[in-house]
Structure formats: C-alpha cells, structure tokens
Chains A and B, each alone.
Chain A
C-alpha cells in the first residue's frame, strides 16, 4: 500500500539558511499535517491543511510557512534557521471522511540538522 512520502530524508543546513521539506500524502487523503519532534521529545503539531486550505495552526514559528498544492503535496518552508530547529520533521496524512477515528499515517520524516 502507498505510504506518505517525505523528502529529503536528511538535511544539513547552516544557521540563517533556508530549507524546504516536501511531503506527498497517501492518495485520496484530504488532510496533511506537519509535526516537529525534537530529540527525546514528543511530536509537536505545527500546521495542517484540509483540501489545500490551512485548517489548523499549532506552535509553528513565524519563520516557517507551509502550503498544500493542487496535487495535494505539501511543502514546509523554513527560513533563518536556528540551531534549535534541529529536529525530526514528520508529515502525516489522513482521510477526514473516516471521522475522528481516522488515524494519521506518518511519513518516515526528514531529519534536519542545523549547524
């Protein structure tokens, strides 16, 4: 079965640089989520999109932005990177028609290291 695809798997950037993370959700899934997981931490919700419109916003820094495109893939853009942005970034997707029982299906994540 198709899964959520994230790219790149690993990314190394320097402080103040920018980064773009990509996510391709499971086909037919209408909701995409972005989470940030710091070392030894639980995943923290950043932002989500439902049918290409932003549906919810969590603890996403103003330096970050995201969007979902017409083909449903999503990108997380991160600017002015800081050392504290080093984390595992997950994209997940779900099918809202399944109601609140619909699990999030996660990609393998992008491990961002800021030096």
Chain B
C-alpha cells in the first residue's frame, strides 16, 4: 500500500506567489520523519526540509515551510515567493522507525511550473 499520497495534478503558479503542495502519509509507527525533495528537470534530487513526528513546531527552511498536521497525517510543503527556479517535481518521503538507516518511501510527486 502506498504510504505517501500526493494527488495534486500539475500546478502553475505565478512568480512571487506562494504555493502549497499536499502530502498525506500512512503509518502506525510513532517515530517517523517526513522529508521533501525537489527534482528539477536536470534530474538531481535535492533535500529541502524535514519534519519529525515528535516535533512540536512546523519546520521552516528559508522560503520552505511545512504545515504539519499530525492528527490528519498531513505534511504540506509551502513555498513562499515562488521563483522561476522553483519549477520542478516535488517529492514527499517518509522514514518509519527510530533508526537513521531506514529507507525513505516516496510519494508520486507534485509537478510545479512557475510562470513569469
């Protein structure tokens, strides 16, 4: 069963505007971490931001922030002040369990195109 769900169709966003990418997850493990990665058309996978299951506050990293709603099992990524370079595929991923060497499971991704 898919543990990470990203169902939004491709999104177009105006430059300088904010965009929210949805991610819901499924786990019964109390210890887990949620990660967002960016994959531009060049193909590399770039780590953006992390949220832990025990974190009390939403994670922020520059223009990226996470809207973490634990009871709803959602971890939406907010990109503020979009730039043309933000055009990419964005993947939500989860690591279950307390060990730092467990695998990440990825969602299907959200395509974002920033238009001038």
- Chain A residues near B (Cβ < 8 Å): 30-31, 33, 41-45, 48, 50, 55-56, 58, 88, 90, 92, 94-106, 108-109, 111
Contacts and interface: CB of A to CB of B under 8 A. Distances in A.
A58 to B, nearest CB: 7
Interface of B: 31-33, 35, 37, 43-47, 50, 52, 91, 95-109
Given A104-B104, A106-B44, A43 B99 contact: no
Contacts of A102: 100
Contacts of A44: 106
5 contacts: A41-B108, A56-B102, A58-B103, A96-B100, A101-B100
A94 B100 contact: yes
A50 B46 CA distance: 22
Considering the complex of A and B, which 7 residue pairs feature the smallest CB-CB distances, nearest first? A96-B100, A106-B45, A31-B101, A96-B101, A42-B106, A102-B100, A103-B47
A45 B91 CA distance: 14
B108 A31 contact: no
Contacts of A50: 101
Contacts of B46: 106
